Chains A and B, each alone.
Chain A
Amino acid sequence: MTFAALIALLVGMCMLLIRALIGPTMYDRVLAVNSFGTKTVLVLGLLGYVMGRPDFLDIAILYTLINFVSTIAILKFFRYRSFQVPLVRKTDAPARGGDRNG
């Protein structure tokens, strides 16, 4: 059962990979990479139980944190071209990263 779930997750990873490869816009790719990271975390968690070592769950949680932070960093970078801008929308926001189709 766990093994079947693992195979299903791996198939889902392959599909996300296809989206990341052919994704027409930047946001397709960002979303695909973010979901790919989530799938990796799930695979790691399942692998821990399949291999009889649930300690892997800690590592999976660490991966979740890294994945979240890096996705936020990517999106913020493309919105503002900088990491030094607070994440609040200002009415007279001067910097607009208008770049969309990498």
Chain B
Amino acid sequence: MTEVMIGGTGTALINILFLAILFVVALAIARLRSLFAIVMLSGVYSLVSAAWYILVDAVDVGFTEAAVGAGMSTAVLLGAMLLTARTAKPEKPLKRIGPFIVCLVTGVMLIYGSIDLPALGDATSPANAGVGLTYLQINWFDTGVPNVVTSVLASYRGFDTLGETAVVFTAGLAVALLLGFGERSLAETLRKQPKAAPRPAASNTDGGAA
């Protein structure tokens, strides 16, 4: 009974709700000036989009989005934030027009491009009719992995995935070295500490850490 209910309008409703949350979060990220709030909201954005990817059956993309977007990039953005100011400077209204037009044009082009895409789960679409159908038929006998996407990523294209992982690892390592997560930022904090000590006691939210 529930599956009948969820079938058409239910899934559409949940899709619309997820997309509405994404829209609100994106709007807030564009409007806010506090960088910490923006970093937190980008984590929320990643989580919601990951959940939405899983809802539309792109489980591997959702996995990646959750690990990289919600886990790793939040930490990296925090590290970048500590090296700069706490709030963004407000832009002049005239300067906002250029980026707005670029975003608008890109969005219109993307929507125009998505008109030609086949419907979700369309059996006659090129992805499902060509090599995808072959993978569906021979996957179990070749690899014994129940999920076809996993078997393609980790078995048929295993070396490709290994290379990708190496690239992502190198990029993460480079970012960590550039930001100086470890001793360098700690040394910076220690250097600043004597100056920060005589600050007025506004530590009511410090939670008894003293």
Give the bracket for the number of chain B residues in contact with chain A: 35 or more
A100 to B63 CA separation, bound complex (whole angstroms)? 32
Is there an interface contact between A98 and B62, defined as CB atoms closer than 8 Å? no
Residues of chain A lying within 8 A (CB to CB) of residue B51: 40, 43-44
Residues of chain B lying within 8 A (CB to CB) of residue A59: 54, 59, 62-63
Is there an interface contact between B190 and A95, defined as CB atoms closer than 8 Å? yes
Is there an interface contact between A84 and B3, defined as CB atoms closer than 8 Å? no
Closest CB of chain A to B182's CB: distance in Å?
4
B82 CB–A CB distance under 8 Å = yes
Is there an interface contact between A70 and B14, defined as CB atoms closer than 8 Å? no
Is there an interface contact between A21 and B28, defined as CB atoms closer than 8 Å? yes
Give the bracket for the number of chain A residues in contact with chain B: 35 or more
In the complex where A33-B40, A59-B62 touch, is A69 in contact with B54 (Cβ < 8 A)?
no
Residue of A nearest to B180 (CB): A82
Q: Show the binding face of B for A, using Cβ within 8 Å.
A: 2-3, 5-6, 10-11, 14, 17, 21, 24-25, 28, 34-37, 40-41, 43-44, 47-48, 50-51, 54-55, 59, 62-63, 66-67, 70-71, 74-75, 78-79, 82, 86, 181-183, 185-186, 188-190, 193, 196, 199, 203, 205-206, 209
| 19 A-B pairs whose Cβ atoms sit less than 8 Å apart in the complex | A6-B14, A26-B36, A27-B205, A33-B41, A36-B47, A47-B54, A50-B3, A51-B6, A59-B62, A67-B47, A70-B74, A74-B78, A81-B188, A82-B186, A84-B182, A84-B186, A85-B186, A95-B193, A98-B196
Beyond the given pairs A81-B189, A94-B190, 4 more chain A to chain B contacts, judged by CB atoms under 8 angstroms and listed by A's residue number, are A10-B14, A20-B37, A82-B182, A85-B186
